[in-house]
Amino acid sequence: MIQVSGIAFQQSNIWPPGSMERVIIQRMNQDPIVYSYSSIEELGFELTLRKNIIASARAMNNGQAQFEVFRTSYCNSEYWRLTSAGGFHLKDGVLPSVAIQDIFTNSSLYGFECAVAKVIIFYHAVLNSIDKDLFNQLFQNLYLYSWHFDPDLGIHTVNNNHYLPGDVVYFNNPDVNPDTSWWRGENAVDLGDGTFFGHGLGIRNAEQMIQALNEMRKPGSNRSAYLSNVIARPSFKNLANLSMYSRSLTSYKIQHTAIHHQESSISCDQYLFYLQQFYNQHLQI
């Protein structure tokens, strides 16, 4: 269900039949959860960003960036500094918009694991949804590693079996072969047509994703991989507010600590658990 300014949203002719926006609205209306917006513009921003997430996922699929574990990750050294942990740190003097776009323009120069692929997709989609100057203002301290993200991107998880186009879902492989531990799961973007994009597996439907992961189980296992109820999303509302009411250039924000766990292909939920553990330990007196 959708509410705009506290009133149930009635389907309008703003978005044409058959458009991805209409598909997303239909899926929202099928969800028992209420999706609430302060204005039609805020709703429109989320629909645009979700549509761009899907476009960015398809663009990554069509590119040449390879799946790599952290120790073998690589990037274009013109824009990024490769850290000892396998992360990509934006070089001084480089515009965030240029560096993020380069991952898609010169994709053959990049190799990264599946979680950071989804964060890259989120950044790229946001770049295509807001003013470029605002993007460069917001994301000056880009560091790409696993699910690490800028606070203004606001990635968070919800537990729900009803996911929407543009959401990132997680296929869990509980009996993964320890020799190929990077197949412990697959973070995948719902493309809105019954298929998903996972970096390393490409575009497949849910059954095909599960079948591929089942081939990576430890010998003798009969416990299947499965689509979990963990959904990762950026903060659509925060990004909409920033795009409509841009923050002062002098504003300061505290960056999240990057958790260098070295486990490829973990869920966003697992990463946020590690992050919370870190903060709990360091806040103890």
pLDDT tens digits for 225-258?
999 999 999 999 999 999 987 655 546 788 899 9
Contact 129, 86 (CB under 8 A): no
Q: Please state the pTM of the whole predicted model.
A: 0.95
**In the chain, where do the E strands start and end?**
2-4, 7-8, 35-37, 66-67, 80-82, 88-90, 111-112, 143-144, 156-159, 168-172, 185-190, 195-198, 202-205, 226-233
Token reading at 8: 């149930």
Token reading at 5: 């300014």
For the chain, give every domain's residue range: 2-283
- Characterize the bridge pairing of strands 185-190 and 111-112: unpaired
d(CA 266, CA 281): 21
- What lies within 8 Å, CB to CB, of 168 at 6+ separation is 118, 187, 188, 189, 190, 231, 232, 233, 268
Residues 256-278 have pLDDT tens digits of 999 999 999 999 999 999 999 99
Contact 43, 37 (CB under 8 A): yes
Residues 159-218 have pLDDT tens digits of 999 999 999 999 999 999 999 999 999 999 999 999 999 999 999 999 999 999 999 999
